[in-house]
C-alpha cells in the first residue's frame, strides 16, 4: 500500500546512514495510459560479495587475490516499509519546494543478490527535485522468528580451509540515503532507484586473525548478538555510522551495475 502526503516546506533536513550508492536509471513505459507521471521503483542490491581480508577502507573494490577471503552467497532482508520524501521545485515561486512524501508497506523478503527485484513503485510528477530521500525499514515484528537481515557464505582461511559463516540480525534495521538535484524531464517513464550496499565495507577493520579465532556453532562461524559479539558489533555499527557517507552517481540506461 502506498500513502501520499504533500506539504509546503522551504528546506527539509536529512540524515545519511550506511555505506551505499543511490543511482537512478530511466526507460520509457510501454503503457501510455498515464501520460502525466513517472513510476519510481526501488532496488536494494548487495555488491562486492567476494573479497580478501583484511578490507582496506575507502577502496572502491576489495578484489579476491589470495586467501584469506570471504564469499557471500546469500544476502536477505525483510523490508517492512519504504518511505520516499522528495522536494519538488515550485514552478510558481522558484524558491520554495513542495515536499512530497510516499509510504510503501510490506513486508517483503528481498534477495539483495537478485538484481531483478523491484519494489515500491512510487509516482513522481515531471520536474526538478532538489532532493529525493529514501528510508528503508526492516522490523523485527515482521520477520517473526527469522532474522531481519541475514547473510551466509564461506570464509577461506590462510590455509585454504573453507568454513561456513553466517550473519544474523534480529533487531530493527534501517537504511537512509538521498540524492540531490534529480530531474524527471519526461513523463511516462519507469525510473529505477538502486541502493547498493557494499559488503566488503561492512567487514572493514576485521582481521583474518579475528575470523580464525571466532567461535564455531555446529561448524559455522555464526555472527549474531549472542555469538562472536565483537564481530557482530563491528558489522552492525557500520550499518548506522554517520561517518560512512553514501556515494552517489546518476546511472544512464547503458550503465552496468558495479559488481565483482
Residue 61 has pLDDT above 60, yes or no: no
Average pLDDT in the 97-112 region? 91
Reduce the DSSP state of residue 3 to 3 states and report it.
strand
Average pLDDT in the 181-185 region? 78
Residue 114 CB partners (closer than 8 Å, separation 6+): none
pLDDT, tens digit, 9 for 90 and up, residues 208-257: 999 999 999 999 999 999 999 999 999 998 876 544 333 333 333 344 44
User: DSSP label at 66?
Assistant: S
Average pLDDT in the 37-54 region? 88
Average pLDDT, the chain: 77
At 140, give phi and psi (nearest 5°).
Answer: -55, -40
Least confident stretch, 36-45, 109-118, 142-151: 36-45
Q: Considering the chain, what percentage of its residues have pLDDT values greater than 70?
A: 70
Per-residue model confidence (pLDDT) at position 14: 25
Amino acid at each position: 500500500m502506498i500513502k501520499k502526503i504533500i506539504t509546503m516546506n522551504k528546506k527539509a533536513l536529512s540524515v545519511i546512514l550506511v555505506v551505499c550508492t543511490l543511482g537512478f536509471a530511466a526507460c520509457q513505459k510501454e503503457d501510455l495510459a498515464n501520460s502525466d507521471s513517472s513510476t519510481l521503483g526501488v532496488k536494494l542490491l548487495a555488491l562486492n560479495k567476494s573479497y580478501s581480508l583484511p578490507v582496506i577502507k575507502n577502496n572502491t573494490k576489495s578484489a579476491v587475490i589470495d586467501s584469506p577471503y570471504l564469499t557471500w552467497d546469500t544476502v536477505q532482508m525483510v523490508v517492512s516499509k519504504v518511505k520516499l520524501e522528495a522536494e519538488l521545485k515550485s514552478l510558481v515561486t522558484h524558491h520554495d519546494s513542495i515536499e512530497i512524501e510516499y509510504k510503501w508497506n510490506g513486508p517483503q523478503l528481498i534477495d539483495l543478490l537478485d538484481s531483478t527485484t523491484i519494489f515500491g513503485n512510487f509516482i513522481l510528477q515531471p520536474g526538478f527535485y532538489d532532493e529525493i530521500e529514501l528510508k528503508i525499514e526492516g522490523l523485527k515484528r515482521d520477520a517473526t522468528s527469522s532474522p531481519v537481515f541475514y547473510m551466509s557464505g564461506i570464509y577461506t582461511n590462510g590455509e585454504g580451509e573453507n568454513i561456513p559463516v553466517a550473519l544474523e540480525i534480529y533487531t530493527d534495521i534501517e537504511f537512509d540515503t538521498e540524492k540531490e538535484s534529480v530531474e524527471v524531464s519526461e513523463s511516462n517513464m519507469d525510473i529505477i532507484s538502486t541502493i547498493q550496499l557494499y559488503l566488503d565495507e561492512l567487514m572493514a577493520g576485521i582481521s583474518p586473525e579475528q575470523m580464525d579465532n571466532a567461535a564455531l556453532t555446529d561448524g559455522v562461524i555464526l555472527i549474531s548478538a549472542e555469538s562472536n559479539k565483537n564481530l557482530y558489533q563491528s558489522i552492525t555499527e557500520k550499518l548506522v555510522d554517520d561517518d560512512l557517507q553514501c556515494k552517489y552517481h546518476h546511472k544512464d540506461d547503458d550503465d552496468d551495475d558495479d559488481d565483482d
